Amino acid sequence: MRKVFLCEYIHPDAYAFLKAHAEVIREWDRLSEAEALINRNLNISNEVMERAQSLRVIGIHGTGVDDVDMEAAKRHGIQVFSVPHLNSRSVAEMNVALMLALGRKIVQADRRLTGRRQNGRGEDLMAELQGMELCGKVLGLIGVGDISRQTADICRKGFGMQVIGWSRHLTEEKARAMTMTYAPSMTEVLKKADVVVVGVALTPETRHLIGKEQFGQMKPEAILINTTRGAVLDEQALYESLAGGAICGAACDVFVDEPVSASHPLLTLDNFIATPHLGANTEEALKRVGMAVVQGVLERLDIQR
């Protein structure tokens, strides 16, 4: 029976399907026996691959492959695959949930009522918690992949928001087909948007894509949402921009180092919301992604089902 290494949670239906067709290894000291590995949040380095001497396949439980040393995988002859788009709806809904939480100051209100934060300057509570409507506002997309497009669809149809988008590969024709306004530069999106949603994959080119200069181009009343990868933002620049009032608020489901430390400076700010990489953490998405990655592993190991 084929051996598959799995030490992270996957949907119970996917786990049962995997266990019915392969031996599941969960102990690190047995990693060398595994012919395949299913990865959610582990850092699969060259050192890990050298320990996994029988490894032929790495299946990514999701879209991004940035946690895997792809050059090392190539050298070791290990096939790496992902299962993109299957969690897009859940992450899109997370984007909307975070923009609502920021816009209506829901988390800030909870902190006040539960006594975890005191009124900042002794002002009237209702004045402090005054929010904004999303209706008629401009949604700005940095990256127009599947998650961003689904986010735009919800915001356009549900809130009557206008949508403007930019990516390196977007054209006016493609933008029209997506029912959004084409922006020739990221700067134009940042200057016009009331809500900025970051939706680019993490690559060497996109690391710290948005930093001090870019935050300075946003409206002071604008909010920013990041559910893609933490390192796309310069976290220190984001902290300084929020603390100094350059932008109104931000919410991040992802951080450079995860799990995020309780001492992270961003977590001290009242106009910042943090969640622990929950974007795709729904029953529906986990089942779709889990079943797809298990099936992909079994197919690549030539297991007859």
Q: What is the pLDDT of residues 75-118, one digit of tens each?
A: 999 999 999 999 999 999 999 999 999 999 999 999 999 987 76
pLDDT digits (tens, 9 = 90+) for 147-184: 999 999 999 999 999 999 999 999 999 999 999 999 99
pLDDT tops 80 at residue 119: no
- Place 305 in a pLDDT band, splitting at 50, 70 and 90: very low
pLDDT tops 70 at residue 122: no
pLDDT at 283: 97
Fold (CATH) for 3-86+283-300: Rossmann fold (3.40.50)
pLDDT digits (tens, 9 = 90+) for 21-80: 999 999 999 999 999 999 998 999 999 999 999 999 999 999 888 899 999 999 999 999
Q: Which of 123-127, 164-168, 265-269 has the lowest mean pLDDT?
A: 123-127
Report how far residue 262's alpha carbon sits from residue 85's, in angstroms, rounded to the nearest whole number: 31
Q: With contact defined as beta carbons under 8 Å apart, do 229 and 204 qualify? A: no
- Place 264 in a pLDDT band, splitting at 50, 70 and 90: very high
DSSP string of 161-197? Answer: -EEEEE-TT--HHHHHHTTSEE-SSHHHHHHH-SEEE
For domain 88-274, the CATH superfamily is NAD(P)-binding Rossmann-like Domain (3.40.50.720)
pLDDT tops 70 at residue 230: yes
Report how far residue 195's alpha carbon sits from residue 136's, in angstroms, rounded to the nearest whole number: 11
Same fold, 3-86+283-300 and 88-274: yes
pLDDT at 64: 81
Catalytically active residues are 229, 258, 277
Average pLDDT, the chain: 95
Report how far residue 100's alpha carbon sits from residue 119's, in angstroms, rounded to the nearest whole number: 21
Chain-centroid distance of CA 265 in Å reads: 20
Structural domain spans, the chain = 3-86+283-300, 88-274
pLDDT at 123: 63
Which of 208, 200, 206 is closest to 170 using CA atoms? Answer: 200
